[in-house]
Amino acid sequence: MIFALTTLLSVVGLVTSNGETHNKILNFPTASTANYISFNPDLPELTGLTVCAWKKNSFLERRTGRYWFSYAVSESDNEIIVGNSAFYVKSAYVYSQVPLTYQWVHNCATWDSESGVAVISIDGEAAATQENLKKGESLRAGGNLVIGQEQDSVGGGFSANQAYVGELYNINVWDYALDSTEVASLYQAGLCGYGSTEEDPVISYADILAQELVGDVTVVDGTCADIEVPCQEYKEECWETEEKIKYKDGGKLGYIVGTVDQAKAACNAHGECKTLTCLEKKGKMRCELRSSFEKAKKDKKKTSFTYRC
């Protein structure tokens, strides 16, 4: 039996409560203050943060001082900013010397209050690190998020010289600093795939695509193509349910947000998947897909499903 599946668990990205996000690219065509996405994500006070995205700068663009992610609160318009080379936390910053490129790159910015460590990662590896950056401080709650511009006032104060020009894909925000393994997983999954992290993002790409696109911002189809992957023979009776159990061994294959039946179908379609560990959060079921079930641990909030044929 053959199942149409896009590269590395892209089927996971197709099954979300907010609709299809896989292969949907945000395009910012010109350096204009009219092009952006702006909304209040209702973030709480945070002591850690990660912002990740795939980005491809316009080949016409030569400026490094452009910003694609800006979170501003009253009296602090530089609460969080991520740009082509810089990452700001409460107006302090870390700067990467990696040259500007015009191909798809994976960009992550992480910050942890307890350690004070801020890191810019490019294609899964740390490109710049700053210690003691706003150590012990917190990001303020209730701010405004803008994609494609840098805010000099909450929700505004844009400059064309700082406006992002290019394409963005799979932007996600976590309320803690991802470790180097998680960052590498997101990159290694590839532009067309989905990596795995310990917790769900607090702002998902689906959340961002659900907002109003202002100006000439558009959503365009990317270049991720379907491939043919052979399926194992599927038998419902082979699944065993293990309540209050999670599996933490290696073999992370990605995750799916949807129903358990959808997760089982994606697991079967992958060909290497043997285990689902699922958690219901905010009314959604999120299931991690893994290739083995060797190391079980107790977890009262999670249920695992193992394929044992």
The residue among 140, 157, 150 whose CA lies nearest residue 73 is 140
pLDDT tens for each residue of 13-48: 333 333 468 889 999 999 999 999 999 999 999 999
pLDDT of residue 7: 31
Q: What is the pLDDT of residues 101-135, one digit of tens each?
A: 889 999 999 999 999 999 999 999 999 999 999 99
pLDDT at position 11 over 50: no
Please, what sign has the CA dihedral across residues 120, 126, 131, 135? positive
pLDDT (tens digit per residue) in 130-187: 999 999 999 999 999 999 999 999 999 999 999 999 999 999 999 999 999 999 989 9
Residue 237 φ then ψ, to 5°: -70, -10
φ/ψ region of 177 (left if φ > 0, alpha if ψ in -120 to 50, else beta) reads beta
C-alpha span between 120 and 109 (Å, rounded): 5
Cα-based angle 255, 71, 142 (whole degrees, multiple of 5): 90
Question: pTM of the full predicted structure?
Answer: 0.73
pLDDT at 125: 96
Which structure tokens are listed for 30?
């010109």
Please give the sequence-ordered ranges of beta strands (E in DSSP) within 90-205, or none if there are none.
92-95, 105-112, 117-122, 125-130, 144-147, 166-174
Question: Among positive and negative, which fits the CA dihedral 285, 291, 295, 296?
Answer: positive
Q: Determine the pLDDT at residue 232.
A: 52
What pLDDT does residue 21 have? 84
Mean pLDDT of the chain: 86
The whole-number pLDDT of residue 171 equals: 96
Q: Is the pLDDT of residue 227 over 70?
A: no
pLDDT attached to residue 250? 64
Q: Which two tokens stand for residue 156?
A: 């505004």
Percent residues over pLDDT 70 in the chain: 88
| pLDDT computed for residue 233 by the predictor | 61
